[in-house]
Structure 1
Amino acid sequence: MKIAWKEMKKNKTRFLILGSIIFLVSFLTFIISGLANGLSQDNAALIKKLPQGQFYLDKDADKTYNLSKIDEGVQQQIFIDNPEATAFSVQMGFVNDAEDKQHSLAFVTSTDSELFENVKEGEIVLDRSLQEDGIQVGDVLTNNQFSGEFVVKGFVDQQKYSHAPVAFIAMTNYQEMYRVMEMQTIFIPGKDAPTLSALDSFSNKEFLHAIPSYSAEQMSLNMIVWFLVIISGMLFAIFFYMMNVQKIGLYGILKAIGMKTISLFKMIWYQMLVITAISLVLSIALSQAFSFVAPEGMPFHLTMDTVWMLSAVFMVVGFIGATISGFQVKNIEPLQAIQQGEM
């Protein structure tokens, strides 16, 4: 490892350039990953906060949440067989405050359950983000589809759906607003939730894809993240390949004096490890700091689990890239390399 370290000090400009590029790529990857997680929370926090269980939609809905209508007879039978089951519905809408300012919302109603806010007729419980718009407990809100008024009874934290704040209302008020009696979905908590022949069943993760735009949004951002990871591996492969071409003579001499090929590979791996580790430490520190200085309202959520997972992936990809570039070292013939005069 002494040879590897001496070479890094001798050619520090080259290794500094590579380290800077890896730092920028990994930093950008962490930022985009944080945005992807943040948008995921902003899009489906209402669903992601529920415990593990099974969601059930009408088979005629073709796995699309908005089109689902659970037959009342089927719903009642499920409740008899599964007392812990909950039926709920979500529809996008809006309310007007006392100043006639319009606020977009996701109206949610459910049967009696500890999993959702239970409110009385004429009451509404809102996501706390609406406090920033000046809405307070006791305010009166109106909706053009509702004949009465909503009185704000409280706020809840991190309850979003389709990038809109959630508003919990009574079932009778919801039915009046949307002219529908059937609920959209049934949720049964627990890992051993039954399979119902009359309905399509979804796990928590599968149900997220029934939310409009969720899959397309997350797929696009995750594709960017993994594309950046692949780029980092290619950078290692190209960089070490060019370095190895310039050091064919040196490798020939080292082989001639008895150094094994595996030792040369270890030298390349050591250099890769040092560069990647330093770059990742800096990018992790800055990405965590970014969460404190990110513009207000930006949905940024970067967990340490995601950081460690991506760091491990960067290490593996870097190892693969450096190893691929080192295959040419294996084929170097000492005498031929020395005769080329490359040092």
Structure 2
Amino acid sequence: MFLALREFKHAKLRYLLVALIMILIAWLVLFVSGLAKGLSSDNASSIQNMNTDYLVLQKQADNRLNRSVISNDTLKDVRTFVSDKKSTPLGVQMTTLTKDGSAKKVDVTFFAINTNGMLAPDVAEGKMINNTTTNEVVADSSLKDNGFHLGDIVKDQASGKIFKIIGFTKEQSFSHAPVIHMNFKEWDAIHKANARGGEFFNAVALKANQDKADQIDNSVSGVDVITKSDALKGIPGYKEEQGSLIMMIAFLFVIAAVVLAVFFYVITIQKMNQFGVLKAIGAKTGYLAKNIVSQVLLLTIASLIISIALTYGVAFILPSSMPFDLSPQLVLGCSGLFLVVSVIGSLLSLYRVAKIDAIEAIGRAV
């Protein structure tokens, strides 16, 4: 550590430039990670926060909630394996709303639920609907960004039904659209208005272990029992969107490793004579290796602290409409991985130091 700090003091500009590159790369990694997490939540927070272990969908639905149709008879079959309290139907429909007195249209997703069941969301503002409520719904708070407020009257464009917003929830979105929760009384009314008729749902949510899920999957005809993770992948665009962002993050880590490897290798080559002299007077290879690793870790930690502060500063001024979520767990995960990548990037320099021949290096120095 002594030698590492002395080198920092002696070559300030060189190491400041290295630190600047590391800050920019770490900042970009953290920002893209926060954007990926934010887009994930904006696309699927209603499923991510859903109080369920498994979802029962129609077999031909390809794990997509909006393609699945589950009948009341199928629900009864499922409930022969799990109790009513641990199984509840879910209706999902994407639609468009207009606010009373305004021509502006907003895409939303209706979620029909048993308001006394395990899928009922927490209400952050206003009050919750019940199973007998008529013409009342609770909406995700992101609708406020479009000018919606408590007590507003909204109209479903598809069915022509009129609803009143009596409460707001948080983190309830599906396919980048705010979720509107309603009871099954209003769900049936919508589909009668659509001339679809008949009692049906899109899924059955389960609180059950793997054995129960397998029993239902094998015993109830025409259904697939999937995990929430599978349901997330079935949301249109979710898998592709997250895959692209994760690949970007992975490439950034690879770039960070390569950049660090090149910088420290060049610096190591420039100091070959000095390392040779140190070896000649008794410095061990392990001591010199610790010097390089100490430099890498100190630069990385300092760069991470600055980049984390920059990321949270930028996140503070971002508009609420931009999905961005940088949790402490995500920051710790990215920081730990960045430290590992930094050490990996220094391995080439460590190998070069280990191969230094003291006599040859001294000869070049002379």
TM-score by length of 1: 0.93
Matched, 1:183 2:204: no
- Return the alpha-carbon distance in structure 1 between the equivalents of residues 33 and 164 of structure 2: 39
Q: Deviations over 1:220-252 (max 9, x none)?
A: 111111211121111111111101111111111
Note the 1:5-84 alignment, pairs <5 A. Answer: 5-82=5-82, 83=84, 84=86
Whole-Å Cα distance in 2 between the matches of residues 148 and 234 of structure 1? 59
Deviation at 1:338, TM superposition (A): 1.7
One-letter code aligned to 1:159: Q
Secondary structure of the corresponding residue to residue 187 of structure 1: strand
Residue pair 2:161, 2:190 contacting (<8 A) in 1 also: no
**Which residue does the alignment assign to 2:363?**
339
Q: What is the alpha-carbon distance in structure 1 between the residues aligned to residue 75 and residue 322 of structure 2?
A: 39
1:255 is paired with a residue of what secondary structure? helix
* Distance in 2 separating the partners of 1:241 and 1:205: 43
Counterparts of 2:258 and 2:52, CA distance in 1:
39
Pair 1:116 & 2:120 matched:
yes
Which residue of 294, 297, 301 maps to 1:273? 297
**Which deviates the most, 288-297 or 24-33?**
288-297
**1:103 aligns with one of 106, 129, 152:** 106
Q: Shift in Å at residue 141 of structure 1?
A: 2.0
- Tell me, in whole angstroms, the C-alpha distance in 2 between the residues paired with 1:203 and 1:217: 20
Does structure 2 retain, via aligned residues, the 8 Å contact 1:25–1:232? yes
Question: Take 1:60 and 1:301, find their aligned partners in 2: how far apart are those partners?
Answer: 34
Q: 1:171 Cα deviation (Å)?
A: 2.2
Unaligned 5+ segments in structure 1 are none
For the residues of structure 2 that align with 1:28 and 1:212, how far apart are their CA atoms? 27
**CA gap 1:147/1:241 in 2 versus in 1, 3 angstroms:** closer
Farther-moved stretch of structure 1 (144-153 vs 12-21): 144-153
Measure the CA separation in 2 of the matches of 1:177 and 1:236.
63
Alignment of 1:82-231 (within 5 A): 82=82, 83=84, 84-99=86-101, 100-111=103-114, 113-116=117-120, 118=130, 120-169=133-182, 170-176=186-192, 179=196, 181-192=199-210, 193-195=212-214, 196=216, 197=218, 198=220, 199-231=223-255
| Distance (whole Å) between structure 2 residues aligned to residue 152 and residue 296 of structure 1 | 21
Asked if 1 retains the 8 angstrom alpha-carbon contact of 2:113 and 2:119, the reply is no
Q: Which amino acid in the other structure matches residue 8 of structure 1?
A: F
DSSP 3-state at the match of 2:365:
coil
Change (3 A) 1:93 1:219: same
Once the two structures are TM-superposed, the CA of residue 72 in structure 1 deviates from its matched residue by 3.0
Q: Is the 8 A contact 2:145 2:321 kept in 1?
A: no
- Structure 2: how far apart are the matches of 1:50 and 1:6? 55
C-alpha distance in 1 between matches for 2:279 and 2:193: 81
Partner residue of 2:343? 319
> Take 1:102 and 1:242, find their aligned partners in 2: how far apart are those partners?
59
- Counterpart amino acid of 2:246? N
Between the two proteins, the alignment pairs up a number of residues equal to: 342
Preserved contact between residue 52 and residue 205 of structure 2 (Cα < 8 Å): no
SS at match of 1:340: helix
Spell out, residue by residue over 1:149-173, the C-alpha distance to the aligned partner (whole angstroms, 9 max, x if none): 2222222222111111111233213
Change (3 A) 1:293 1:238: same
Question: What's the Cα RMSD here?
Answer: 2.0
Shift in Å, 1:10? 0.9
Match of 2:124 in 1: none
Q: Which runs of 5+ in 2 are unaligned?
A: 122-129
- Counterpart-to-counterpart distance in 1, 2:193 and 2:19: 58
- Superposition deviation, residue 269 in structure 1: 0.2
Q: Contact 2:232/2:238 (CA < 8 Å) preserved in 1?
A: yes
| 2:268 is aligned with 1:249 | no
- Report the AA paired with residue 191 of structure 2: Q
Matches of 1:15 and 1:52 in 2, distance apart? 51
Equivalent pair of 1:121/1:173 in contact (CA under 8 Å): no
CA distance in 2, matches of 1:75, 1:285: 51
| Structure 2 residue 321 is matched with structure 1 residue 297 | yes
Identity within the alignment, %: 32
Deviations 1:67-113 (A, max 9, x none): 22224322112134322211112221111222233221111113452
